[in-house]
Amino acid sequence: MTSSSSETLEFDEWQALERHHQRSADIMTVDRRARAARGQTHPVDDFLYTYYSYKPAILRRWHPGAGVRLLNAAQSPRAHWRGYLSAGDDLVVDAASFARERPILVRAIAGVLKATALKTPAFGCFGLHEWAMLYKNGEVRHDAPLRLGASGTDAVVESHELRCTHFDAFRFFTLDAVPRNASELSADARVENEQPGCLHSNMDLYKWAVKLGPLVPGRLLLETFDLARSIREIDMRASPYDLSDWGYEPITIETTAGKTEYGRMQRAFEARAAPIRNQLLRIANNALAA
């Protein structure tokens, strides 16, 4: 079985690209792997590995992207990977077969990416989702003290309107915090509420890249991970937790200066995420069209 390809990589070319990708991934995950070997955890960096359940090995696996023919690759281990087709001595990443095997997944990813991209970004949430998870005796989710204490944290929630649009954050709100949100989110309306100004929506681009597997070029996968890691840091710096012992200065969103800083970072992430989202959407749509 064969598939048309739009690009061809010589054996030495794709081998070099794979090695470079693996080195880059190893650098990105070195701290996580060292902590895991020592049985240690990190309140900020570990999120990308525990919440998304993707081990460093996932990030290390290089793919050339849809339609790319790898010369003299048929005898390599990737010949047994899903999403690859043999073409004589070569291998091709075949978008059509991937979409045929996972039509619901690819359509769902395309749907959420398109819906998010079409929305006007909103920047007024100030990262209060972490505060809402603690409102009135919520579960402390990180091994760090609260900057303002429990009562101070509650007071910040009560002095703001919660404007969360991301269901996967909203579902961890305390029962007392839920009615304070501008709208009650649900799993069924998840796609309708996503918007490109949301930090967690932009962080999720890493998840969609992993799920699209061999269709996503290695450089784009690493780009989504780097974006998610940067977002996670800001997410936690704006949280009610005191992470100074871990080397993180707080973004004091309860103050005017903190709100300004958070909004500036939120806009920067939206601009950074937009072209990544468009690339992933194009990949998913091309697979469905194939």
pLDDT score of 85: 93
pLDDT score of 4: 46
User: For 111-155, how does the pLDDT look when each residue is reduced to its tens digit (9 = 90+)?
Assistant: 999 999 999 999 999 999 999 999 998 778 888 899 999 999 999
pLDDT score of 5: 52
Average pLDDT on 20-41 reads: 96
Average pLDDT on 2-6 reads: 50
Cβ contact 101:39 at 8 Å: no
Average pLDDT on 217-238 reads: 98
Q: Which residues pair with 85 in a beta bridge?
A: 92
User: For 94-112, how does the pLDDT look when each residue is reduced to its tens digit (9 = 90+)?
Assistant: 999 999 999 999 999 999 9
What's the rounded Cα separation, in Å, for the pair 59 and 15? 17
pTM of the model: 0.94
User: For 120-129, how does the pLDDT look when each residue is reduced to its tens digit (9 = 90+)?
Assistant: 999 999 999 9
User: For 180-199, how does the pLDDT look when each residue is reduced to its tens digit (9 = 90+)?
Assistant: 999 999 999 999 999 999 99
User: For 251-290, how does the pLDDT look when each residue is reduced to its tens digit (9 = 90+)?
Assistant: 999 999 999 999 999 999 999 999 999 999 999 999 999 8
pLDDT score of 290: 83
User: For 32-56, how does the pLDDT look when each residue is reduced to its tens digit (9 = 90+)?
Assistant: 999 999 999 999 999 999 999 999 9
Q: What percent of the chain has pLDDT over 90?
A: 92
